[in-house]
Amino acid sequence: MSAATIAVQLVGRLGRFRLDVAFEVPAAGVTALFGPSGAGKTTVLRCIAGLERLGGRVAVEGEVWQDARSFRPPHLRPIGYVFQEPSLFAHLTVRGNLEYGLRRAGAARLGLDEVVAFLGLEPLLRRSTTRLSGGERQRVAIGRALLAQPRLLLLDEPLSGLDAEAKAEILPYLERLHQLMRIPVLYVSHDAGEVAGFAERVLLMREGRIMPAPQPPPSGGSIPTDALAGLARERVAGLALAALAAGLEPIKP
Amino acid sequence: MIGVVRLTVELAGLTTLLLLVLATPIAWWLARSRRWWREPVAAIAALPLVLPPTVLGFYLLIALGPASPLMAVLHPFGVRTLAFTFTGLVIGSMIYSLPFAVQPLRAAFEAIGERPLEAAASLRAAPLDAFVSVALPQARRGFLAAAILVFAHTVGEFGVVLMIGGAIPGRTEVLSIRIYELVEALKYGQAHALAGSLVLFAFLVMLAMLVIDRRVGRLQP
């Protein structure tokens, strides 16, 4: 078990099916956890955050967060978590929300001003969270998670509750995230087009298991270029993933 | 007369304060526990709603009287009886008004849901920290409702305070009992004045409840 990885092994019952996953990915860049709704992606993410507890083992960069004998509670895990719905604190202003994690995080590598500038939150700071648009809320939620100084960022379908316009507003921030903070990101999504653009690697999940998933096809590789001519690389990769998720077998050359 | 009013306000104020402190952990547990005995406990906490005040007063009189096991425990501390004392009245009022504190607080805690507390945990807030910094402020409507209801209900109680207070002037004689005594003595003029003020008070309390509920509700959908 090397130190610079995220190693997860979880077993347990989850409603009608069994969750049984094991994976180890480098603790760097964006790893997409991709699959249809109800595959157990969110449960995996919640277990890594410590919000839910199944049997197994979770170790991040050599630190054991959970194993047979120990379970570290969520507030002691250096994570940032962005929920599907922004889940902002309604009794605090935007600034109050941003400062909530920052104040409790100890030594801050990332300051409020940096995050506010990066996400363009300046005009919202004094507003109540109840008067924000969906896109604005999710931007604040991302900023709030980043300011908790995470060593691992967990994004749980951060775009799925948004309309197309708001999605287009948020996506560029997620793509540029690495410019602000070099931390590993686990990104849960059921939308292939969304993750294909910037995920370095993809874990495909179905019915509580990780599927043997090939990496997104490299540009100019062995894909049938005739049929896909003119499509953006992201779009092609998205189609490939969607086909896999739908249960199609990859063609063996 | 002023003494009676002051005693009543003191009793209601102290009862409200102590009861909010006592009811908060009970309501929190009722809102979040998944144990099977949660509803039986909730039913016990709601009993004073349906029990005749005389039944409650009777048992309290026995429990706070010199012969009770409770007083035997307190005897070494110099307490022989709490019946017919102000302390006894506060204890009785707290039990009598318990549901009026627990119900709104439980509803408020349940309305918050799991998510804000999970968000707080993911932002490094330990459970107690999350309770103080997220659950309490988000349940403020419930606290306001509980405080107003308990205060008003304590001002309005009669049976329990009569049973365990004994209507001792200056010590346990509160407004509602004074009205009863005035009527018995056929002093209708004074009874009118007191009863009328209590009607006005009750109206103002209900009005305040409704207005505050709308105001706070607007801030926090």
The residues spanned by each domain of chain B are 2-219
Judge whether A101 is closer than 8 Å to chain B, CB to CB: yes
The answer to whether the CB of A208 falls within 8 A of the CB of A20 is yes
Strand stretches in chain A, DSSP E:
5-14, 17-26, 30-34, 55-60, 63-66, 79-82, 152-156, 185-189, 201-206, 209-211
Q: What is the ipTM of this complex?
A: 0.84
What pLDDT sits at residue B172?
A: 87
Contact between chains at B122 and A73 (C-beta distance less than 8 A): no
Choose among A90, A91, A104: nearest Cβ to B124: A104
What pLDDT sits at residue B1?
A: 73
Higher pLDDT, B139 or A38: B139
Residues of chain A in contact with residue B140, where contact means CB-CB under 8 angstroms, are 91
Q: Give the number of other Cβ atoms within 10 Å of residue A250's Cβ.
A: 12
pLDDT under 70 in chain A at which residues? 1-2, 213-253
Sheet holding A185-189, edge to edge: A79-82, A152-156, A185-189, A30-34, A201-206, A209-211
From A98's Cα to the closest Cα of chain B, the distance in A is 10
What pLDDT sits at residue A177?
A: 87
Judge whether A133 is closer than 8 Å to chain B, CB to CB: no
Phi and psi at residue B174, to the nearest 5°: -105, 175
- Enumerate chain B positions whose Cβ falls within 8 A of a Cβ in A: 115-116, 118-127, 129-130, 133-134, 137-138, 140, 219-221
Higher pLDDT, B151 or A231: B151
Contact between chains at A51 and B122 (C-beta distance less than 8 A): yes
What pLDDT sits at residue B171?
A: 85
3-state secondary structure of A97: helix
What pLDDT sits at residue A253?
A: 44
Contact between chains at A90 and B126 (C-beta distance less than 8 A): no
What pLDDT sits at residue A200?
A: 87
Phi and psi at residue B5, to the nearest 5°: -60, -45
Contact between chains at A91 and B120 (C-beta distance less than 8 A): no
Exposed / middle / buried, residue A251 (Cβ in 10 Å: 0-12, 13-18, 19+): exposed
What pLDDT sits at residue B179?
A: 93
User: Secondary structure of chain B: what % helix, strand, coil (to 5)?
Assistant: 80, 0, 20
Q: Which of B114, B118, B124 to mutate to test the interface with A (most CBs of A within 10 A)?
A: B124
| Tokens 């419930």 sit on residue | B142
What pLDDT sits at residue A216?
A: 54
What pLDDT sits at residue A160?
A: 87
Residues of chain B in contact with residue A79, where contact means CB-CB under 8 angstroms, are 122
Angle at A5 between CA A179 and CA B119, to 5 degrees: 65
- Please list the residues that pair with A209 across neighbouring strands: A206
Question: Mind listing the pLDDT tens digit for each residue in B43-71?
Answer: 999 999 999 999 999 999 999 998 888 88
pLDDT at B210 over 90: no
Higher pLDDT, B114 or B166: B114
Residue of chain B whose Cα is closest to the Cα of A79: B122
Q: How many residues are present in chain A? A: 253
Q: Give the number of other Cβ atoms within 10 Å of residue A114's Cβ.
A: 16
Question: Mind listing the pLDDT tens digit for each residue in B115-135?
Answer: 999 999 999 999 999 999 999
Q: Which of A182, A175, A157 is nearest to A119 (CA)?
A: A175
What pLDDT sits at residue A221?
A: 47
Residues of chain B in contact with residue A51, where contact means CB-CB under 8 angstroms, are 118, 121-122
From B145's Cα to the closest Cα of chain A, the distance in A is 18
Structure letter (DSSP) for residue A60: E
Contact between chains at B220 and A74 (C-beta distance less than 8 A): no
What pLDDT sits at residue A70?
A: 95
What pLDDT sits at residue A220?
A: 46
pLDDT at B221 over 50: no
Pick the CATH number of B2-219 from 3.30.365.10, 1.10.10.10, 1.10.3720.10, 1.10.150.20: 1.10.3720.10
Contact between chains at A148 and B123 (C-beta distance less than 8 A): yes
Could you tell me which residues come within 8 angstroms of residue A179 by beta carbon, excluding any fewer than 6 positions away? none
Residues of chain A in contact with residue B113, where contact means CB-CB under 8 angstroms, are none
Quick one: average pLDDT of B60-86?
A: 89
